[in-house]
Amino acid sequence: AIGDLLADTLPASVAALARDAAGCRRCPLWQPATQTVFGEGPQDAAMMMVGEQPGDQEDLAGRPFVGPAGQLLDRAIREAGIDRQAVYVTNAVKHFKFEPRGKRRIHQKPDNSEITACAPWLAEERRLVRPALLLMLGATAARAVLGRTVTISRERGRPIPLEGNTQGFVTVHPSYLLRLPDEEAKRREYAAFVADLTHARELLA
């Protein structure tokens, strides 16, 4: 699959991979989107975080996790004692999927065909970065990495062995925390998220 994606040469760097992905037409999501939002961070990062797909602000900025979910993620990362600059941050799907509603663009969940179409990019990011720890944020990321349906509540917070000497680790998506209706649940779930991130960092130590 990687072979037909990248013809005869595999990119030797994430930067080269990102240049290739800028012209990706593997699924129809590229067309209404502003641009490909590729992963970013050090190629030698020990930790990789995988989200779902870029949101409205990421689509405009061309960078992952810079909008509201990204700001919450940044705060939790900091509280867990992790340096975001040292983390490679990416998404399962590299284009923003949305439905126009007036002037607004409403986020739509990527379906399995879009996750599958985008999977070679994530596979290449993993091959190049070879993280010791791969943190999956939410069910879409977990499906993209593990290739099956994952119930976050059942599998969160404990290491899942992956190929290539990588430990997988599942937790919630920060957008889930933003959507919680009451403050008490928000506080509780945010604390559990920070606890998961802290646990993930400790696995690296």
Query: Where do contacts with ligand URA occur on this chain (CB under 6 A)?
Result: 51-55, 58, 64-65, 67, 69-70, 91, 175
> In the complex, which residue's CB is closest to ligand URA?
51
Distance in Å, CB of 8 to ligand URA, minimum: 31
Distance in Å, CB of 70 to ligand URA, minimum: 6
Distance in Å, CB of 60 to ligand URA, minimum: 12
Distance in Å, CB of 46 to ligand URA, minimum: 20
Kindly tell me which of 6 and 40 has the beta carbon lying closer to ligand URA. Answer: 40
Considering Cα of 10, then 147, then 174, then 154, what sign does the dihedral take? negative
Kindly tell me which of 10 and 62 has the beta carbon lying closer to ligand URA. Answer: 62
